[in-house]
Amino acid sequence: EPEVTQTPSHQVTQMGQEVILRCVPISNHLYFYWYRQILGQKVEFLVSFYNNEISEKSEIFDDQFSVERPDGSNFTLKIRSTKLEDSAMYFCASSPLQAGENYEQYFGPGTRLTVT
Amino acid sequence: GQSLEQPSEVTAVEGAIVQINCTYQTSGFYGLSWYQQHDGGAPTFLSYNALDGLEETGRFSSFLSRSDSYGYLLLQELQMKDSASYFCAVRDRSISSGNTPLVFGKGTRLSVIA
């Protein structure tokens, strides 16, 4: 069964450093999302992406964040200058063009980002 | 804005039935979803209700009442592996059209005991 993959599974970085989190969405999906989950808290929407551009973003997604689809398979989230409060699990998700009856989003296993 | 309320924790006995409630407030509404998340894992889709009523998928059922802004997830014949967090989520049409992001509740941690 196709699945969303993410790398790395765990990233440790120092405050102020740039990080790039990588995702490979399901191949025939056209909508992509990034969510984050601070430990013990709810999943929060960051940004959605369609047709090579951002379609929605939340207030969390400030100028320190950017997304890119550099090729036909990868979808990346960049944090330019990490802060301690960026420590969280970051989930990539994708959904097909025709969302179908259930509007299901398929989540990757996540990247745990630890900022020290 | 949108807000979803669900209990923080529920404990139930193996083999029993448990109901996890969710109430929501949104400026627009386009369906209620349920996701399961095991510790350290990714959210996985369980069910979706756009219309009032009960949707059944095996041991899991989900109910929606749009007039009450309320839904619930019903888990039957509980198994130890059902111990996880369960999140309700809405697609809020007021956020955008098209590929609407999900807005999640804070999650209910279900513990199944022997």
Quick: pLDDT tens for B46-75.
999 989 999 998 999 999 999 999 999 999
* Interval B5-22 mean pLDDT: 97
What is the structure's pLDDT at B95? 45
- Interface test mutation site (partner A, options B33, B99, B109, max chain A beta carbons within 10 A): B99
The full 3-state SS of chain A, as one line of letters, equals CCCCEEECCEEEECCCCCEEEEEECCCCEEEEEEEEECCCCCEEEEEEEECCEEEEECCCCCCCEEEECCCCCCEEEEECCCCHHHCEEEEEEEEECCCCCCCCCEECCCEEEEEC
pLDDT band at B113 (very low <50, low <70, confident <90, very high): very high
- CA–centroid distance for A92 within its chain: 4
Q: Which of B99, B103, B106 comes nearest A31 by C-beta?
A: B99
What is the structure's pLDDT at B99? 63
* Interval A30-38 mean pLDDT: 93
Give contacts of A50 with chain B, Cβ < 8 Å: 98-99
Does the pLDDT at position A114 exceed 80?
Answer: yes
Q: By the CB < 8 Å criterion, does A66 face chain B?
A: no
* Interval A57-64 mean pLDDT: 93
Does the pLDDT at position A21 exceed 70?
Answer: yes
* Interval B36-50 mean pLDDT: 92
Judge whether A94 and A25 are in contact, CB under 8 Å: yes
Q: Annotate B33-55 with b (16+ C-beta within 10 A) or e (fewer).
A: bbbbbeeeebbebbbbbbeeeeb
Judge whether B7 and B20 are in contact, CB under 8 Å: yes
Query: Cα–Cα–Cα angle for A108, B70, B97, nearest 5°?
Result: 55
What is the structure's pLDDT at B96? 45
Does the pLDDT at position A9 exceed 90?
Answer: yes
* Interval B10-25 mean pLDDT: 97
Question: How far apart are alpha carbons B34 and B20 in whole angstroms?
Answer: 10
Q: By the CB < 8 Å criterion, does A75 face chain B?
A: no
CB-CB under 8 Å, B43 with A91 = yes
Give the torsion through C-alpha atoms of B75, B81, B85, B91, to 10 deg.
Answer: -60
* Interval B86-95 mean pLDDT: 77
